A and B are shown apart, each in its own frame.
Chain A
Amino acid sequence: DAGVTQSPTHLIKTRGQHVTLRCSPISGHKSVSWYQQVLGQGPQFIFQYYEKEERGRGNFPDRFSARQFPNYSSELNVNALLLGDSALYLCASSLVGGRDQPQHFGDGTRLSIL
């Protein structure tokens, strides 16, 4: 079975631009979460979606937005990019997003802002 897939794998943008990152969850998984991982740190939670509804939001500015589609894939959008947005963006899926559900991670999108 295919795992969580993310695209693109690498991306270079300049300050002020906009970016869209994409994620396809494991087949049958209905919950998708997005994380930002800065070098040397643990993943920081950005959003969680379940059945196309936002279920949780981390402490990130409104420049960050996301959505989940009927096929459970998801997009993360970031507007007005800043140098500090340079990071590895991870997508994770789980069956239903419950307390006992482990997250299944993709390999991430490496975003570099120049």
Chain B
Amino acid sequence: GDSVTQMEGPVTLSEEAFLTINCTYTATGYPSLFWYVQYPGEGLQLLLKATKADDKGSNKGFEATYRKETTSFHLEKGSVQVSDSAVYFCALSDASGGSYIPTFGRGTSLIVHP
């Protein structure tokens, strides 16, 4: 079955540091890829997505590129802020029996210190 693997957290950074959160996937089909963010006490929010190979999704300074050859979708940001502290989830959406079911990774906690 499909799966998503994320780097273990927490990732602890100082403000304005460079961020990378690694994500790799296995899928039987040709999935769409997503990053979601979850702030404490809230549901998940879509951060960015990419739907085909070499697509780059971007939003709020975050970027991720769909790499089919390495089955990866790493999240990056050039300069993190304290307000970026949250849990980040990598996810894919692949066909399963006529519908498209998202599969999520375990999440990576990001802590940004002033």
Contact = CB atoms under 8 A, between A and B. Distances in A.
B104 A102 contact: no
Contact of B43 (A45, A99, A106): A106
A42 B43 contact: no
Main secondary structure of the interface of B (DSSP, over half): strand
Interface in B52-80: none
A55 B43 contact: no
Identify whether the interface residues of A are mostly helix, strand, loop, or mixed: loop
A108 interface: yes
14 contacts: A35-B104, A41-B107, A42-B104, A42-B106, A42-B107, A45-B102, A48-B101, A55-B99, A58-B101, A90-B44, A92-B44, A99-B51, A99-B95, A100-B51
Contacts of B105: 42
Interface in A55-106: 55-56, 58, 90, 92, 97-106
Interface residues of B, number: 30
Interface in B78-114: 89, 91, 93-107
A110 to B, nearest CB: 9
A45 B101 contact: yes
Contacts of B36: 103, 105
A43 B44 contact: yes
A106 B106 CA distance: 19
A45 B96 CA distance: 12
Contacts, number: 70
B32 A100 contact: yes
A35 B45 CA distance: 14
Contacts of B97: 55-56
Contact of A43 (B49, B95, B104): B104
A98 B43 contact: no
Contact of A48 (B34, B44, B99, B107): B99
Contacts of B89: 42-43
Given A90-B44, A105-B43, A105-B44, A99 B49 contact: no
